Amino acid sequence: MVDKTRVGFVGCGGIAESHFKGLAKDTDVDLVGFCDLNLQRAQEMAGKYGVGGRTFASAKEMFSAIKLDATYFCLPPFAHGTELEAVKRGIPFFVEKPINLYLAQAKRIAGAVKKKKLLTSVGYMNRYRKGVQMVRDLTREDPAILMLGGWIGGTPTAEGGAIWSWWIRKAKSGGQFHEQVTHTVDLARFIGGDVVEVQAFGAKGFNKGTPKGYTIEDASVVNMRFVNGAIANLWASCSANGSGGGVTLDVYANNMTANFTGWEHTLHLLRKGMEPEEIKGEEEIFSIEDRAFIQGVRGDDASKVMCQYEDGLGTLMVTLAANDSMRTKRMIKLPHAAKKKK
């Protein structure tokens, strides 16, 4: 019998627990390392999901102390960089989105990964959804012309919890578009290809009573042009308190309209001359993407991993370009390498 895959975590917050729940049930996985600056949190997660797992307050200490077959990095955007420790040791890793806040650092990590030929995975879980895969396949022959979508939510309040210690601060999260709507940006790239131009506008000063340290935009809109000439308009809002909104992405082609709604991205598909079709979004999507990564590690096979680090870097470049455009009030051009969709 093949030994279990020994997995360690750097960062044991809420998004990490979304992965713990499925991995703890995976008979091929042994959760052996739990690292968090809040050691009490690491100990809590180890007690809940990793019987016998060791806890650490330092990632370097964890890497030095125990043998790992794979590592998860579940960190706020500003806190990355320790991925290089995994690369140095040849440990395949999974990193939650967005992969970084600093482009130069992300490029260094991408270069190190490429040089080492290391298996990686980025937490853009919506790529694994059946409905998303179906629409992507359809756009091979009927390309998307226009995409509209984003995330509409309410004003951050003091009851938001520990996440507000960094999410509401632009210098730590990169803002709502960078940290949250990155999922929609990634789907737009996954369906439409490389983005070559970005122009963004932000709105501030409308939210009242926000927690101390609030510096992100209340809302933003971002226009994008793809390498094939298609266009998209994506938006973010953390200022809509009258309900409505939510998560959406609409894809318009010549003979198809695809409407994705909700965090689970349920698909309502309309095709010319055909009956409407609905595909419910998968509930256990974290387990699906985790299984693809673990299978890749165990078989040294990246074929089932839908987004590796270099591809995640492409999405990062778009969201950081949106921030640059908001700051400079200019359109930002992006480098690209025209590739056929897989």
Domains, the chain, in order of start with CATH, read 5-125+286-308 (3.40.50.720), 127-282+316-333 (3.30.360.10)
One digit per residue, the tens of pLDDT, for the chain of length 342 reads 369 999 999 999 999 999 999 999 999 999 999 999 999 999 999 999 987 899 999 999 999 999 999 999 999 999 999 999 999 999 999 999 999 999 999 999 999 999 999 999 999 999 999 999 999 999 999 999 999 999 999 999 877 667 778 999 999 999 999 999 999 999 999 999 999 999 999 999 999 999 999 999 999 999 999 999 999 999 999 999 998 889 999 999 999 999 999 999 999 999 999 999 999 999 999 999 999 999 999 998 899 999 999 999 999 999 999 999 999 999 999 987 544 444
What is the DSSP secondary structure assignment for residue 228, as one 8-state letter?
Answer: T
Separation CA 33–CA 65 (nearest Å): 10
- What is the distance between the alpha carbons of residues 80 and 176, in angstroms, rounded to a whole number? 18
Listing DSSP states for 22-81 in one string gives HHTT-TTEEEEEEE-SSHHHHHHHHHHH-TT-EEES-HHHHHHHS--SEEEE---GGG--
Burial string for 240-268 (b: 16+ CB within 10 Å, else e) reads eeeeeeebbbbbebeebebbbbeebbbbe
CA dist., res. 253 & res. 286, Å (int): 29
Rounded to a whole number of angstroms, the CA Rg of the chain reads: 20
CB 227 within 8 A of CB 197: no
**How many other CB atoms sit within 10 Å of the CB of residue 315?**
24
Judge whether 304 and 289 are in contact, CB under 8 Å: no
| Alpha-carbon separation of residue 218 from 87, 206, 207, 213 (angstroms) | 37, 7, 6, 14
User: 241 Cβ partners below 8 Å, 6+ apart?
Assistant: 154, 155
DSSP letter assigned to residue 262: T
